[in-house]
Amino acid sequence: MLALEGVKILDLSRVIPGTFCTMLLGDLGAEVLKIEAPATYELPGSSRTSDEASARKQAAYYAPNRNKKSIVVNLKSEAGQEIFHRLSRQADVIVEGFRPGVAKRLGMDYETINGLNPRIIYCSLSGYGQEGPYRHFPGHDINYISMAGILGLIGSGDGPPVIPLNLVADFAGAALYGALGIVAALVARNSTGQGQYVDVAYLDGAVSLMTWFACGYFLDGSVLKRGQSWLHGAYPYYGVYETKDGKYITIGCLEPHFWENLCRLLGKAEFIPYHSAFDHTFHRPEDQKWNEIRAFLAQTFLTRTRDEWFELLIDNDVPAGKVYAPDEVFSDPQVLHRQMVIEVEDPVLGKVRQVGLAPKLSATPGKVRSLSPLPGEHTDETLATLGYGREEIEGLRRDGVVC
């Protein structure tokens, strides 16, 4: 048994945060039907290509659409909307990422669908949410993390903010919070028997991730500044250092005993008293001794390779990490042991490697049951379950309602 087995999800997402959200739910057992538009623009990783063999291979390796089926429907047509309404009557969850107001114009907003299926859980992912003065503003991850105060804290204090990958607002703020909201609504429905609306904003999620960092501000007005605190690398006991082979190692000696382990390992017991204090949370070091310590560490780490340092540091109970290139991640023994690289069998391609499942459930573990489908691969099959006959399906196809 899978944790979300029997839960039927309609996936209307067009960009990766929604797609990743439904992938997470599909990995845990939900039955996800991806409803695609006839000519949807997709970001890199799309399986749309005129060469079916290439499309099949590309789809197989496009993990965000795994554990899903696919139909192609023109939702702007009345016939297409009727198909969606029929699907909605049988569904448990709908996930959409349109700008506010679009779903209503298409006749598939929460109020409409709730009238057809009061048990429906309807999740909308939008940049600024369904209400408020910014609700119609366009945006992307970089905009949301800048508005959340996150971007302004990334990077050194003597340069501009450093743009991270779109992991914060897109994947955490929207996808993860969306999945959490949906699962919470499913649990609530077990008690109430009623569905509900889940309004997830990328900005809200990004601001929520700032909860711990905002405590000082709400307490006494203290404001973090880029490159100024202990978690920004302002202090040498928590930072990144180049090694002999031109690679990098990280150390995270936030606790005094870890710092002491490092100092004794390096024969610098006199550095032990120089560890974190409360003012490190908000301010750069003022004592010149910190410059001496940083310079010493920088020179010392240049004497061995990254991997040599990692083994030595870990053997002496010092928190350390190798700064990996992406390809190195997927050969790391811990990553492999934790099954964060999996192989899924494809009848034509053989074994297909993908990133594994993060949550490890002891009784109902998740599973990749199928690789990504081609767009419209399950259109006929799905329409047949809704009561459409073969001639009706062909008529819909001729009219451009489905593909």
Domain boundary among 322, 352, 372: 322
Q: What is the pLDDT of residue 49?
A: 53
Position 183 in a domain: yes
CATH number (domain holding residue 272): 3.30.1540
What's the gap between Cα 102 and its chain centre?
24
**Is the domain of 31 the same as that of 147?**
yes
How many domains would you assign to the chain?
A: 2
Judge whether residue 47 has pLDDT over 90: no
Spell out the alpha helix ranges (H) of 137-209: 141-147, 177-192, 202-208
CATH number (domain holding residue 134): 3.40.50.10540
**Is the domain of 177 the same as that of 258?**
no
Return d(Cα 270, Cα 87) in angstroms, integer.
Answer: 70
**Is the domain of 17 the same as that of 145?**
yes
Return d(Cα 235, Cα 68) in angstroms, integer.
Answer: 47
Q: What is the pLDDT of residue 147?
A: 98
**Is the domain of 120 the same as that of 90?**
yes
Domain boundary among 269, 296, 322: 322
Q: What 8-state DSSP symbol labels residue 162?
A: P
**Is the domain of 18 the same as that of 46?**
yes
Closest residue by Cα to residue 168 from 177, 160, 159: 177
- Work out the mean pLDDT of the chain and round it to a whole number: 95
Judge whether residue 44 has pLDDT over 70: no
pTM for the whole thing? Answer: 0.94
Please list, residue by residue across 13-35, b when 16 or more beta carbons sit within 10 angstroms of its beta carbon and e when fewer do: bbbbbbbbbbbbbbbbbbbbbbb
**Is the domain of 67 the same as that of 160?**
yes
Residues noted as catalytic: 140, 170
Q: What is the pLDDT of residues 364-401, one digit of tens each?
A: 999 999 999 999 999 999 999 999 999 999 999 999 99
Q: Are 32 and 26 in contact (CB under 8 A)?
A: yes
Position 1 in a domain: no
**Is the domain of 97 the same as that of 162?**
yes
**Is the domain of 108 the same as that of 154?**
yes
- Contacting residues for 172 by C-beta, under 8 A, at least 6 apart: 205, 206, 209
**Is the domain of 256 the same as that of 350?**
no
**Which domain does 278 fall in, by range?**
230-242+248-322
